[in-house]
Amino acid sequence: MSVTLTIAEVQRIAVLAHLELTEDEQRMFARQLGEILAYAEQVQSVDTSGVPATAHVHVPEGTEREDEPRPSLSVADAVANAPDAAAEAGLFRVPRVIG
Amino acid sequence: MTTREWSIAAIRNDIVSGAVSAVEICRSTLDRIQAVGPALNAFNLVDADRALASASAIDRERAAGAELGPLAGVPVAVKDNMCVRGMRTTASSRILDRFVPPYDATVVARLEAAGAVIVGKTNCDEFAMGSSNENSAFGPVRNPWATDRTPGGSSGGAAAAVAARCVPLSLGSDTGGSIRQPAAFCGVTGLKPSYGRVSRYGLLAFASSLDQIGPITGTVAETALALAVIAGPDPRDSTSSRDPVPDYAAALTGDIDGIRIGVPRNFVSDGVEAGVRRAFDASLATLQSAGATLVDVELPHARSAIPVYYLVCTAEASSNLARYDGVKYGYRAATAPDESLTRMYRRTRDEGFGAEVKRRIMLGTYVLSAGYYDAFYLKAQQVRTLLRRDYDAAFEVVDAVATPTTPTAAFRLGEKTGDPLQMYLADVFTVSAPLAGLPAISIPCGFAGSDGSADRLPVGLHLTGRFLDEPTLLRVADAYQRLTDWHTQAPVLG
C-alpha cells in the first residue's frame, strides 16, 4: 500500500476532526501527511501474527470506589472560563442548534 | 562532584538554618528570571506576587518553629500544560490563551505541600507537541548555550530555565522525549518516570497512554528529592501506580560495581553525529571504570519505534483534543448569527490550534478512521507489544540500557520546521521508553559541535531502567555525576 492523500481525502478527515482548513492548509497537509504515512507504512512489514495489541502498559487493579457524592466544582467556577456563558443561570451559550 | 553552586538541598538548608529567608531566595530568583528570561523566552508567565506570598508563608512557618517540608522555599517553575489554580495555563496555545484553572494538578498540590514556591509557567510546544519548542503560540524558546539554536522540546522553557539558573527545579511532561531531549540540548538532568509513577491529574492530556510528568534539575540527587515529592498513588488518576514510593535518596550510594549496562550497538551505529558518538563512548568508559559491565543487547523493534509512536500518539491526541470546541473554556471564533454550532466548532479549532497540532489531529483522525485502523493504529499497537518484549528480554541480562539521548546536539531554530518528518526522526532514542512505560533519564555527558560549527553544545547520556525501578536508574546516573563535572558547567548568558 502506498500512501498519497488527495485534497478530497484531506477534506473528509478535516470534517471528521471538526477542523475548517484553508486551501493552503489542505494542500500542505495532503503533502506532509502523505510523506509521514509513507514513512509509517514500515510498521506493516513487521510480523505481528498472534501478537496482542498494547493499548496501555500499566492498568492498576482495585481502582474502583464507592459511588458517593463528594464536593465538586461550583457552577460559578465551572462556567467562569467559558467564552460565552449565562453565568447567572449557570449555562454555556452556543449558536442556535435547532432552527 | 555532585554539588552545583545552587542546589535544592543548599537552598532548603540555608532557609532552615536561617542563613537566608525564603523571601530573599524568591527575590533573587525573580531578579534572575527578569535578567535572562526575556532573551530566552523561557516563561509564559511569572507571578511575582503569588511567589513572594508563598515564600513569606514559609518564613512565617519557620519563625513559628514548624517543621519545614523537603522543598521549603525552593523556587519551582511548572510547564504551562499543568494546572495551577488561579494561574493562567495555556499549553502555549491560542485556544487556551485566557484559561485560568479552577483547580491544582496533583503535582502542583504536592510541590506546594512540600514547601516549594511556584514562580511561574514555562513555555513549551503547543499541547506538548514538538521537539524544538518552535510550535508555541508565544514564540520559540532559545537555547541558553547558543541562542540561535532550539532548547529542544516540548519542555523547552522548563529545561532552559534550569540551565540558565533561573530555578533549580522545573516540572516538565514527557510523551515521546519532551523532558529528556530538552534536558540533553540544555545540559541539565531530566527524568521521565515509569508510566503511572506520577499522577497525571491536572496535566492537559496529549496522549494518555504515554504522558508522564517528571522533574528537570541540575543533578540526579536533586531529581531524586523532587521525584520523592511528586510520586505516588492518586485517587484522581486511575492509572497511577499503587506501588509504594521507594526512598530514592537512599538509592544514591555511588556504588555501581557489578551493574550491567546494555548497549544496543546496532541501533546506535547509524545517524549519530561524531561529537555525540565520542561523548557517548567516553561515558560508557567512565561507567565501566566505576565497575559497571557493558553488555551488547538487541532491541530489534526499536527501529520501528518512531512510526509506532507517531501513529499511537496522534490517534490519542485526536481524541483528547476533541474537548477544545469553544464552548466550555478557551477561545471561540466570532460567528455570524445564522452560523451553525458545527461551523463554530470548526472555525474555533482552525483559528485556535497551530499547524503542528492540526497536523497531528489530522494524522490521528486518519489512522483511526474506517479502512485505515487495522493497517496503521492496530498494527502500531501490536509492534508496541513487540518493543515491550524486546525490553523484557534485555532486562533479563542488564540493569539499564544506554544510548545517546539524541542523534545530534541542539539544532538551529528554523532548521527543521519546514519538514515535520525530519523533526520526528530526531526523537529516535527517546520514543521507546514511553511506549514500553519504562523510566528513563538524560544526564549531561559532554559537549560537541554540531553541523560543523564551533559551538560548544551539551550532549546527553540516556539511560532506561526497569518498570518502577527508578532507584537503580538514579543510582547509575548519580554515580556517573560523582565521576564527572559536565552537569556543573553553566552557559554564559548576556
Active-site amino acid positions of B:
79, 154, 178
Residue B2's pLDDT is 37
Q: Do A25 and B103 touch (CB under 8 A)?
A: no
Give the pLDDT score at A53: 96
Mean pLDDT value of segment B14-18: 95
Mean pLDDT of the B410-421 span:
94
- When mean pLDDT is compared across A66-75, B71-80, B228-237, the lowest value belongs to A66-75
Rounded Cα distance, B408 and B280, in Å: 11
Position A1 scores a pLDDT of 44
For B211-235, what is the mean pLDDT? 97
Residue with cell 485502523: B373
Q: Is the pLDDT reported for residue A96 higher than 90?
A: no
Neighbours of B49 (CB within 10 A): 7
- Please answer yes or no on whether B362 and A73 come within 8 Å at the CB atom: no
Chain A residues in contact with B100 by the CB 8 A cut-off are 80-81
Residue A99, pLDDT > 70, answer: no
Is pTM beyond 0.80? Reply is: yes
Looking at residue B298, the DSSP 8-state letter turns out to be -
Ramachandran region, residue B128 (left: φ > 0; alpha: ψ -120 to 50; beta: rest): left
What is the nearest CA distance from B287 to chain A, expressed in angstroms? 30
pLDDT, tens digit, 9 for 90 and up, residues B122-132: 999 999 999 99
Q: In chain B, what residues touch A18 (CB-CB under 8 Å)?
A: 322, 325, 342, 345-346, 349
Nearest to B131 by CA among B154, B149, B150: B154
Mutate to test the interface with A, among B366, B368, B369, B468 (most CBs of A within 10 A): B366
Phi and psi at B266, nearest 5°, equal: -65, -40
Tell me, what's the ipTM? 0.95
Segment among A64-68, B70-74, B118-122, B488-492 with least mean pLDDT: A64-68
Say what the pLDDT of residue A59 is: 78
The distance of B321 to chain A (nearest Cα, Å) reads 10
pLDDT surpassing 70 at residue B494: no
Residue B23 has pLDDT above 70, yes or no: yes
The fraction of chain A above a pLDDT of 70, given in percent, is 96
CB contact under 8 A, B310 and A48: no
pLDDT at B1: 35
Pairing of strands B260-263, B400-404: parallel
Q: Which residues of A fall within a CB distance of 8 Å from B242?
A: 60, 62
Across A85-97, average pLDDT: 90
Determine what percent of chain A is predicted with pLDDT higher than 90: 78
Residue written as grid cell 464552548: B327
Residues of B in contact with A32 (CB under 8 A): 359, 420-421
Q: What is the mean pLDDT of residues B321-330?
A: 96
The label of the residue with cell 477542523 reads: A19
| Chain B residues within an 8 Å CB radius of A95 | 335, 339-341, 343-344
In the stretch 49-88 of chain A, residues with CB closer than 8 A to chain B read: 51-60, 62-63, 65, 73, 77-78, 80-84
Report pLDDT for A60. 78
User: Whole-angstrom Cα distance, residue B209 to residue B464?
Assistant: 18
Compute the average pLDDT of residues B318-328: 97
Q: How far is CA A77 from CA A70, B96, B205, in A?
A: 16, 16, 21
Peptide bond preceding B269 in cis form (omega within 30 of 0): no
- pLDDT of the residue at A62: 77
Whole-angstrom distance, CA of residue B307 vs CA of residue B310: 5
- Residue B3: pLDDT above 60? no
- Cross-chain residue pair B307–A35, CB shorter than 8 Å: no
Among A43, A52, A80, the residue with its CB nearest the CB of B307 is A43
pLDDT digits (tens, 9 = 90+) for B132-184: 999 999 999 999 999 999 999 999 999 999 999 999 999 999 999 999 999 99
